[in-house]
Structures are given as C-alpha cells and as structure tokens.
Chain A
Amino acid sequence: MDNKHIVEIRNLVKHFPMGGDHFLALKGISLDFAVGEFTGLVGPSGSGKTTLLNIVGGLDSPSEGQVTVLGHNLAGTSHKQRAELRRLHMGFIFQTYNLLPVYTVYENVEFPLLLNGVPADERKRLVTRAIELVGLSDKLGSRPAQLSGGEGQRVAIARAIVKEPTLVLADEPTANLDAENSHHVMKILVSLNKELSTSFIFATHDEKVMAYLHRILNLVDGKIVKDELVENPELKG
C-alpha cells in the first residue's frame, strides 16, 4: 500500500446478473483515497455509489479489476479475512442506522469492541467517550425504538467510530434526517475526522453533506465523471 493511500482502486468493474443479461454498475473505475480524507461519492440513484462503497468495505466483491484496502487486495481475500478487515479497521454508517434492536444505546456502541475482544475497562472508557462525542450520554439505557431518527444515527456514528477505525464508510447517513439533525451529524463526523484522522467515504446525494466534503467524486452511470477537491466553508467553521 502506498503510505498516503488507504484505498487504491484500479479498473474496477462490477456487474450484476439481471434476467439473462448483466447490469453494469461500475465501469472501469480507477482512483485512490488518501489517509484522513473526507470524501463523498456523489451522484443520482443507480449511479453506483453504494456498490463502490460496498466493494471498498468488502461487503461485495469486484467482477473485474483490483481493489486494495489498507494494503489488502480484496480479490485475494476470503470472506473471513474481509470480515476481519472490517472488524479491526472499518466502521459503517447506514442510511437506516441498522442498530441492533434488542440492545441499549450503550450495548450497541459496545458491540464492535466485544467482537474485537477489548477488555472491559477499556471498553467502558471507549464507549463512554464515543457516546459523549455524539452527545447521547443521557440515553445510555435507551433502546433504538425509543430514540428519534437523529439520535439513532448518532448512535450508529458512535458505534462506527468507537474502535477508532482507520476508515469509516457512510451510506447516505443523512437521508432520513431533517436539516438540523443532518448538520449536527456532519459536524460530529468532521470533528472526528480532525481529532482521530479517521478517513471517511460517503455515498450521498444530499447537498447538506456535500457542504462538508473536501473531495467530491461525481459518479454517473458507473463512471467517475468529476473528481474535485473543494474548499468548503463548513469545514473551516
């Protein structure tokens, strides 16, 4: 792996079977993501944003091409190795939060640490810190059903960053949130990016999210049509 690059993608093609034919979701994409980036994959529905995010996260595999994440060529890794990569180094934020319904806020955030076998004392410290960062210290014992949409997404963020991962992949993290909550969530992510140097890759078509990104990749029909570094006023704040 290039020291500066956390993800390297070369000639990535992804197609899905559709009827007797194939649907081409990604058409020969090549790009790199640097350490500490705050990048957005932007484009209309069906442009391939989520597919690209899933492949980077090892949740899906490329049809052709090479994807290297944290120095691991995903084409040569097993399901188990990809799961380990996610468990140790990646955090996920989903559009629908995907919190575990029978767990409390504390337990949801604690879950990735349990999987990593973090000792109890350290777990408590990290969970408390992550929940403080997203401002939900008063909701530790609440269950997901008792939270508002904004609170639910903040719990999902706390869960994604609690193990201080190298890379966080966020798929439409603000799609179900109102404007106020969207800005709140994005500000939290920006501060985490600055504090922990965690790299963030977003898949979004939300203008409010774009205002926080410092690199925007425009995808149309499975191709990157624009890759621009932006100077966002929200980031300066």
Chain B
Amino acid sequence: MLTFKLALKNLMGAGTRTWLNVFVTALSFILIILMTGMYQGMDAHAKQVTIDSEIAGGAYWHPLYDPTDPFTLEDAHAVPPPRVVDLVDAGQAVPVLVAQAAIYPNGRIMPVVMKGILPQQDIISLPSAKLAEYDGPSIPVIIGRGMAKRANLNQGDTFTIRWLDASRTYDADEGIVVHIMSTENIKIDFGQIWIPLDRAQAMLSMAGEATYVSYAQNLEPLAETDGWIHRDVGYLTRDMTAMIEAKQPGTNVLFAILLALAAMGIFNSQMLSIFRRHKEIGTLMALGMTRSKVVGLFTTEGGLNAFLALIMAGVLGGPLFYLTATYGIPLPLDYSEMGLIIASRLTPIYPLALFVSTTILVSIIVTIVSYLPSRRIARMKPTEALRGRVS
C-alpha cells in the first residue's frame, strides 16, 4: 500500500511529464481499440452484405452447379425439386437461373453472367422489383453501379445481349437498363446482369428451371432435396471467412505495432526516469528502502501510468468509440474498384471482449516493460546512485 501511495505521489508530483506519458499511452490504447474495431467492423460488414444481398439463409444448388467454373452453367439447370418449389410458391425462396452471355454496350463486347431472378421477391436484398416496372419490348436489365461504370451504361441505355440457349443455339435481343443498383457487394455487380426469371427461362428455353434457389434467413433446411445440394451460410461465406483468416496475421502485426508503441512509450519513460532519478534512488536506499522495494516502486509507477492511460483512454476514447460505432467513419475511397466489399461509411464494432482483452494484454505488457528497466536498480550500488553514476 505504501509503495502504491508513493508511486501515485511521484506520478502526480511529476506533473506535465506524467500527463504527457499518460496521454501518449492513452492514444495508443485508443488507436489499438479503434483499429481493431474497424477491422472487425469491416469483416462483419462484408459478411453481412454478402448474406443480405447474395446468400440469404442458404441455397439449394443444381448438382452440377459450380460458380467457379462457368462451363458448368450450360448443364447446371433443371426444374427445382417439388419441396423447393413449394418454398418458392410460399415466398420463402427465390429461384435464380444462371447462364453465360455477352453484351455489346457502345459497340464493345463484354462477357457477362446473366441471372434471371423473380422480380417479386424479398429474400435477397436486390431491387429486382424494378424489373417488373418495365413493360416495353426490350429485356429489362438491372446492373450494378460498378458494372455501369465499366460498360459506360446509364439508366435507359440499350444494348445487345447474346446468349446460348438450351438447344445450344445462339440468340440475341436488345436489353435496356431499367435500374442501376448501388450495392457494396461486388459479386452481384461486376460482370453480371439481372433480368426477370420468366424472361430468362424463355430466352434460354428452360421453362420452370433454375440453377439455384436461395431461401430466406432463419428457415430450417429441407431434409429431402432430390439430389439438389444444400449449401448453408457457412459454406457460401467460406471464401470470405478464408479471406478474413488470411488477413488476420496482418491485423495481428498492426495490433503488435500499436502495442509496441504503447510499450515503448512506457519503457522509454521508465528508462528516462531511472537515469534522471538515480540520486533519488540512492537516497531511497540510504533512507532504508530495499532494492526490491525501489524496483517495486518504479514498476508500480509504470503500472499506474498504464492505469491512468486507461482512464484517459476511456474519457477521450469513449465518445469517439460511441460516435464511430453509431455513425460510422466516412471512407475517402470507393474500395469496390479494388474488388473489396467495404462500406462507404465504415462502422467499427467494439465488442466487450476487445476492451477486456486489450486491457489485460496492455496491462501485462506495461507491467513487463515497467519492470525490465527497473531491474537496473537492483544492480545499482547505493553509493554510485548517490554520486549520479548509473551502470
């Protein structure tokens, strides 16, 4: 208790020097939590956007469907199993028919994946209802903002669509952009065009068929699917999960750098303290403090430094964390150009575990970096400390 009181008095007595150290350490605390929160927010957002706009509760795939192999698309279509059709009829699932196609916007050729979707659906977050609003002769098409930019297309523009139907005959017709959707999910944007399902089935001569059927979130998967393969959210987000896991070492490095900055600040101030206060150390020993108690005093000072930094981080960082978690952080770049699913306003996530783990980790590291320089005191001769010599 005496050591704690003395350490607190020493810290308070040092005035500005203490508060500067505390401020720098608090800044590191805030940055560690903010950066980790941003990373977690980024990952969670990407996953949620993918689920909302693409996956929903999961899907039943045609047995031959492989989204990574476009050549499977020619054969990966059939009338879905009756139980799946029942879900579609009940509005709990949406069929999607996928085919390869080419579009010719402004005289250029662009290979695309053409997806037919039920316009009246609310299973995935896609403005498919816009397809039903068009009643002209052309094929109504929804494209994403990124696709529109690449193809130099605007709403109302027309272009030729060419496709291969079920009887392996090429056909073509005019498509019209009825809506340009703004989505953060590049996987439903770049290289894709969305058209009404019945139109797609007619164009491809695949009446009533689909390539996959996505079902609503929180819906129990069917036990019998007649050969169609059930894919759950875990499977459908496995690429993203793998990407997040691959990113983890980078996140850890950043975390370690910020932690090292905080640790170095305290280590530096401890080293400086010991060099500046050698005479004080000698005096404390002369007055009867044992070396271990002096080491304890300096280590406690370092620990208190971290504790004060934690409080300051709470005072300064609390409002910052609240504001960023509530309103998000506007990002200056459109990251979709880089193929990343990142919101235009990034909302960090600060779970309690982040605060607890950061506090525990920083406390342990601070105690160690406070103790390491203080060990020099244990090797110090009182007479040399009093004379101002530090070995």
* B382 in contact with A59 (CB, 8 Å): yes
Contact status A94-B283, CB under 8 Å:
yes
| One of A83-91, A129-137, A193-201 contacting the partner | A83-91
How far, in Å, is A76 (CB) from chain B's closest CB? 17
Out of A79, A90, A98, A101, name the residue touching B291 (CB < 8 Å): A79
Tell yes or no: B112 within 8 A of A by CB: no
Chain A residues in 8 Å Cβ range of B282: 98
A97-109: CB near B (< 8 Å → 1, else 0) gives: 0101111000100
Residue of B nearest to A55 (CB): B383
B283 with A98: CB separation less than 8 A: yes
Interface string of A188-210 (1 = CB under 8 A from B): 00000000000000000000000
Residues of A within 8 A of B319 (CB): none
- Residue from the list B279, B285, B289, B291 in contact with A59, Cβ < 8 A: B285
Chain A interfacial residues counted at CB < 8 A: 29
Contact with B along A111-127 (1 / 0, CB 8 A): 11011110000000000
Query: A17–B285 Cα gap in the complex (Å)?
Result: 23
Interface residue A57 (Cβ < 8 Å from any Cβ of B): yes
> B10 near A: Cβ within 8 Å?
yes
Q: Does A236 contact B (CB under 8 A)?
A: no
Cβ of A38 under 8 Å from chain B: no
**Cβ–Cβ contact B287 & A94, under 8 A:** no
| Closest Cβ neighbor of B279 among chain A residues | A98
A79 to B286, CA, bound (A): 11
Contact A80 B290 (CB under 8 A): yes
Q: Are A92 and B291 in contact (CB under 8 A)?
A: no
Whether B288 and A83, one on each chain, are in contact in the complex, defined by CB atoms closer than 8 angstroms, is: yes
Closest CB-CB distance, A156 to chain B, in whole Å?
10
| A107 vs B2: C-alpha distance when bound (angstroms) | 13
Q: A60-B383, A115-B2 known; A102 and B287 CB under 8 Å?
A: no
> In the complex, what residue of chain A is closest to B294 when comparing beta carbons?
A83
Pairwise interchain contact B14-A102, C-beta atoms closer than 8 A? yes
Chain B residue nearest to A87 (CB atoms) is: B288
Question: In angstroms, how far is the closest chain B Cβ from the Cβ of A69?
Answer: 14
Contacts of B285 in A (CB 8 A): 59, 83
A sample of 12 more A-B contacts (CB under 8 A), given A90-B288, A94-B386, is: A54-B383, A59-B383, A79-B290, A79-B291, A87-B287, A88-B288, A98-B279, A98-B283, A102-B12, A107-B9, A112-B288, A159-B287
Interface residues of B (CB under 8 A from A): 2, 6, 9-10, 12-14, 279-280, 282-283, 285-292, 381-383, 386
22 examples of A-B residue contacts, CB within 8 angstroms: A54-B383, A59-B286, A59-B382, A79-B290, A79-B291, A83-B285, A84-B290, A85-B288, A86-B286, A86-B288, A87-B289, A90-B288, A94-B286, A98-B286, A98-B386, A100-B280, A101-B13, A101-B280, A102-B10, A103-B13, A112-B288, A116-B288
**3 nearest interchain CB pairs?**
A102-B13, A87-B288, A98-B283
